[in-house]
Structure 1
Amino acid sequence: MYAPERQHEIVRLARESGRVDVLSLAEEFQVTAETIRRDLKALDRAGLLRRVHGGAIPAGRLDFEPDLAERESTAADEKDRIAKAALAEVPEDGTVVLDAGSTVGRLAAVLPPDRSLTVVTHALPVAARLADHPGIALHLVGGRVRHSTRAAVDAWALAAYGQIRADVAFVGANGYSAAHGLTTPDLAEAAVKRAVVAAARRVVLLADSGKYGQEHFARFGGLADVDLLITDTGLAAEDAAAIEAAGTEVVRA
């Protein structure tokens, strides 16, 4: 089977089942996993599929949301570097908001335990990592907890963020681009992220390069709302330059 025939069949399978994975496709077509990854990359570039961890989904699935465990294991090294770079943006003392998200969670994990901070978060994993830090005054925002993100959403969370003003907010996103802004699959999650952005004097987006150019169902802001993007070196220099030309500083860790 030639590559175009195989890729056509991969698209058909993805549309039928909603998702395809690399290992199953490699077995199905009797080729290597690396060959399938090249196919998926070509189909992603063509706009026919969207690559996700371990496979791909149909391009039209803007509401697809991987679970927390899958997001934790995706681009792990890049996220660790981003989190360490983000430490430079954490004030010595003051108030910070930590959004839900695997990369922001990694920042929480590397915060020095003796740092004197007030931290506000609606993310249960973030709160769990900081609960025993003696120098941190931790405020946990409540609401309905979404199982896929372990984050509080809806009216309680929105009301809480409407009552505070923080020095800096560290925000995550499922996708970001100059054209489509900051996006996430869920409307309730997007509403809370929008409130987080509005609650801080300075906004730092922590997002790996694999999310650049991705578009999801719910938009919660534009890159103009972000003071600093911390990403990894996988973001092309020309893309970083375009983002900076629009007014957002970029650090590639």
Structure 2
Amino acid sequence: MFASERLEEIVKILNREGKVVVKELSQLFNVTEDCIRKDLKNLENQKLIKRTYGGAVLLRSTAREEKIENRKERDLEAKRIIAEKAFGLIEENETIFLDISTINILLSEIIAKSSKRLTVITNMLDIVKSFSNNNTCKVICTGGVFNKELDGFIGAAAIESISKYKVSKAFIGSCGIDIYDGSITTFDVEDGNTKKAIMQSSRKVFLVMENKKFYIDGTYKFAHLQDVNSVITEERPNDNLLEILASNDTSVI
């Protein structure tokens, strides 16, 4: 096997497993550990990975801050799978909170077309609109300062309103999770503080996000993995991620 082919295989393993170990790669490719270390240094120089003690992990990327309109049509298949999974967790007559999230827009549309009787609290305008023709759900909007880029209400007034409610389940969006330090991130400080208030008012907290966001960061940490009961994603993460999530008492749906 040529060195270039080996590098490609190492990247494929990283995308599948999340991390690699020098000793294991040495045995897999039947080359010396020094050879593997050179391979990993090469990949790090290409800004594809980050070397760690005894191995390497994928290099994390920073999500781009975009308007909600630009995010609505992206990764639709994955988002629909997540929304359907979330819908399956909601029981008749529950009170739920749908946070600012393009996945939650899809979830709200599924709920609105169903016959489930629910109380839905939200701080997102598009979610409120989803229920315009629904007669089985009671919909409560928090109000507050409206953020056009997020299509939702955030900040002190919204937080004060949220604090007055108790909900059984909250579905929270995020820019990503750093699986290694447990931080859950977003871009906007006020959005992050609003999400934190929603989580504090909820008995169970579900993070709704695409699988790729295990490798993406926002800029503001609003929660830790231990604050979340479950992560709902479109496909099963690799075993390394599952192990870390389990160590934080966080399940994957």
Task: Verify same fold: TM over 0.5.
Answer: yes
What TM-score range do you get, normalising by the shorter chain? 0.7 to 0.9
Identity over aligned residues, as a percent? 21
> Gapped runs of 5+ residues in structure 1?
1-41, 48-58
Query: Bigger CA drift: 86-95 or 165-174?
Result: 86-95
Distance in 1 between residues matched to 2:177 and 2:47, nearest whole Å: 16
Contact 1:177 1:223 in 2 (8 A): no
Partner of 1:195: 197
Q: Distance in 2 between matches of 1:92 and 1:237?
A: 34
Give the direction of change, closer, same or farther, for the CA distance of 1:241–1:131 in structure 2 (3 Å limit).
farther
Deviation at 1:236, TM superposition (A): 2.1
Q: Which residue of 1 aligns with 2:160?
A: 159
How far is 1:114 from its partner?
A: 2.2
Taking the TM superposition and a 5 Å limit, the aligned residue runs for 1:116-135 are 116-135=117-136
From the superposition, tell whether residues 44 and 125 of structure 1 become closer, same or farther in structure 2 (CA, over 3 Å): farther
Decide whether the 8 Å contact of 1:99 with 1:121 is kept in 2.
Answer: yes
1:233 pairs, out of 212, 232, 235, with 235
Which structure's relative contact order is higher, taking Cα pairs within 8 Å and 6+ residues apart? 2
- Structure showing greater Rg: 2
Rate the CA distance shift 1:183–1:43 in 2: closer, same or farther, 3 A: farther
Partner of 1:114: 115
TM-fit CA distance, 1:235 = 2.8
Aligned-partner Cα distance in 1 for 2:154–2:249: 30
**Counterparts of 1:138 and 1:163, CA distance in 2:** 15
CA RMSD of aligned residues (A): 2.2
Paired position in structure 2 for 1:39: none
Counterparts of 1:176 and 1:131 in 2: how far apart (Å)?
33
Q: How do 1:3-22 and structure 2 match up within 5 A?
A: none
**CA positional deviation for 1:196:** 0.6
Counterpart residue identity of residue 228, structure 1 = S
Letter of the 2:76 partner, please give it. Answer: A
Separation in 2 of the partners of 1:43 and 1:186? 30
Within the alignment, does 1:177 sit opposite 2:178 as a pair? Answer: yes
| Deviation, structure 1 residue 107 | 0.8
| Residues 65-116 of structure 1, C-alpha deviations (whole Å, 9 max, x = no match) | 1121221222211111011111121121120000011111111111144211
Query: In the alignment, is the contact (CA less than 8 A) between 1:113 and 1:134 conserved in 2?
Result: no
Question: 1:131·1:138 contact (CA, 8 Å) conserved in 2?
Answer: no
Report if the CA contact (8 A) 1:82-1:206 is conserved.
yes
Shift of 1:145: 1.3
Give 1:131 deviation, angstroms: 3.0
CA distance in 2, matches of 1:43, 1:114: 52
Structure 2 SS opposite 1:126? helix
Out of 218, 237, 244, the position equivalent to 1:242 is: 244
Q: Partner of 1:207 in structure 2?
A: 209
The 3 A distance-change label for structure 1 pair 164 and 244 is same
Structure-2 change in CA distance of 1:68 and 1:234 (3 Å):
farther
Contact 1:166–1:201, Cα closer than 8 Å, also in 2: yes
Q: In the alignment, residue 48 of structure 2 is paired with which amino acid?
A: R
Is 1:209–1:233's contact at 8 Å kept on the other side of the alignment? yes
- Letter paired with 1:169: A
CA distance in 1, matches of 2:149, 2:77: 22
Confirm or deny: 8 A CA contact 1:180 1:215 kept in the other structure.
no
What residue is the counterpart of 2:220 in the other structure? 218
Offset of residue 206 of structure 1: 0.6
CA distance in 1, matches of 2:161, 2:132: 19
SS in 1 for 2:120: strand
Unaligned 5+ segments in structure 2 are 1-44, 51-60
Aligned length: 199
Alpha-carbon contact 1:143-1:157 (below 8 Å) kept? yes
Amino acid at match of 1:100: I
Comparing 237-246 with 110-119, which one deviates more in the overlay?
237-246
**TM-score (ref. length: structure 2):** 0.73
Secondary structure, counterpart of 2:249 in structure 1: coil
Distance 2:209 2:101 in 1: 9
> Aligned partners of 1:116 and 1:247: how far apart in 2?
31
